[in-house]
Structure 1
Amino acid sequence: MSGKNQHVVPHGDKWAVRGAGNDRVTSTHDTQEGARRAARQIAINQQSEVVIHRPNGEIRDKDSYGNDPHPPKG
């Protein structure tokens, strides 16, 4: 992967996109889906991964938009 992974995380009563290791959020959104779409665009540009978190912070899902070192089999 080339760029920094993008995390979709709860942010108060909204959802945010935060680059891995960043203290500040890149953008905030009213819905998780809105934040996921924004993170996806960044990840495509940076050839990185989107990590989607649940409201409790637990990782729910990951999507890769670069050279995936572990592509799905089958």
Structure 2
Amino acid sequence: MSKQNYYVVSRPQGGWAVKKEGSQRASAVTGTQKESIEIGKDLAKKSQGELTVQGRDHKFREKNSYGNDPRNIKG
């Protein structure tokens, strides 16, 4: 499986969606942000991609990588 990036975004109709980068359709739709984050984490981990989370104010508030990160942060 190739690296895929996912986004947790609010829906105009209410609720939250997990969307794969470049896709028009949601991979999952849930009633809460927490549920969408858990689903998004699982999908991003399986593809060794990233998960970006949108806040209630529609600004992206969090980004996590689950693959091989080229940055050396061990210090």
Question: CA offsets per residue over residues 20-72 of structure 1, 9 Å max, x none?
Answer: 11111111011101000000000110000100011333110011110112354
SS at 1:21 equivalent: coil
Over 4 Å off, 4+ runs: none
**RMSD of aligned Cα (Å):** 1.4
Q: TM-score, normalised by structure 1?
A: 0.87
- Equivalent position amino acid for 1:68 in 2: D
Greater C-alpha radius of gyration: 2
- Equivalent position amino acid for 2:15 in 1: K
CA distance in 2, matches of 1:32, 1:22: 19
Aligned residues: 73
- Equivalent position amino acid for 1:35 in 2: S
**Aligned residue runs from structure 1 range 19-34, under 5 A:** 19-34=20-35
Distance change (3 Å), C-alpha of 1:63 and 1:71: farther
Aligned position for 1:37: 38
Structure 2 unpaired stretches of 5+:
none
Give the fraction of aligned pairs with identical amino acids, expressed as a percent. 33
Q: TM-score, normalised by structure 2?
A: 0.86
